Amino acid sequence: MRKSSEDAISQVLEGLRDVEAPIGMERRILDAVLDRASVRSARLLLWAWCGAFACTAAVCVAISMIHRAEHVPIQSNLRAVSADMLPIASGTAVKSERPPLSQPIVHVKANVKSAKVVRGKDSVTLREMQTASFPAPPMPLTEQEKLLLRVAHRGDPEELAMLNHEMRAKQAAEGKVEFQKFFEPSTTGDNE
C-alpha cells in the first residue's frame, strides 16, 4: 500500500515535470506581447489625443467666455455713447433727460478700475432686464370712474340715459326749448 501511494505521488510529480510546452508557444507569446504592447501604446496615444483635445476645448471655451465678458459692456457702452451723441447734437434741453449711465462710460475710457465699475453697473442693468417681468398693480380709481361704476351697477334708466351723449344733448335741447317757451310766449301773445 505504502509503495503504491508513493508510486502514485511520484507518477503525478513526474507527469508535472515532464509536461511539454505546446508547439509554437514562443511565437504566440511574442505575438501576443507585441499586440498588447501596441494596443497599450495606441491606448496611451488615444488618451494623449483626448487630453489634448479636452485642453484645447477648455481653452477655447475660456477664451470665448472672456471675450464675451469683455464685449457685452463695450456694446452697451457703445449704445450709451450713441445715446450721448444724440442729445449733444439736438440741444441742451434733451441733454438733461439723459440717463446717468453715460457718466461711467467716460471712466471706462479713463482707466481700468472704473471700467470694472461700469461692467458691474451694466451687469446689474442686464440682470434687471433679464428678470421676469410682473404686471403693475392696479391703479386706484378716480372719482369719475367710481361714479360711473356706481351708476352702472345701480341700473337707473334715467341716469344711464344721461350717460348717452345724444340723449343728453336732446334733453338739453328740450329743456332749452321749454325755457324759451316759458319766457318768450308773452311777447308774441301781447303782439297778437
Partner 1 sequence: MTSIEECGLVLSMEDVGSEIDLAALVETYSALLFRVAHSVLRSRAEAEDVVQDAFVRVVERRSSLRAVRDMRVWLIRITWNLAIDRRRRIRPEQMDEGFAESLVASSMPADQALDESQRMKAVLRELERLPKAERHVLLLSSLEELGTVEMAKVLGRSESAVRALLFRARMRLRERLERGGA
| Residues lying near partner 1 in the complex (CB under 8 A) | 1-2, 4-6, 8-9, 11-17, 19-22, 25-34, 36-37
How many CB atoms neighbour CB 129 within 10 A? 8
CB of 15 to partner 1, least distance (A): 4
CB of 14 to partner 1, least distance (A): 8
Beta carbons of 158 and 168 less than 8 angstroms apart: no
| Phi, psi for residue 24 in degrees, rounded to 5 | 80, 10
Burial class from Cβ neighbours inside 10 Å (0-12, 13-18, 19+) for residue 38 reads exposed
CB of 41 to partner 1, least distance (A): 8
What does the alpha-carbon distance between residue 72 and residue 123 come to, in Å, rounded to a whole number? Answer: 9
- Give 47 or 53: the residue with its C-beta nearer to partner 1: 47
Beta carbons of 102 and 81 less than 8 angstroms apart: yes
- Give 29 or 69: the residue with its C-beta nearer to partner 1: 29
What does the alpha-carbon distance between residue 150 and residue 140 come to, in Å, rounded to a whole number? Answer: 15
Query: Residue with C-alpha cell 361704476?
Result: 149
- Give 13 or 78: the residue with its C-beta nearer to partner 1: 13
CB of 112 to partner 1, least distance (A): 52
- Give 27 or 127: the residue with its C-beta nearer to partner 1: 27
- Give 5 or 187: the residue with its C-beta nearer to partner 1: 5
What does the alpha-carbon distance between residue 50 and residue 31 come to, in Å, rounded to a whole number? Answer: 28
CB of 42 to partner 1, least distance (A): 14
DSSP state of 132: P
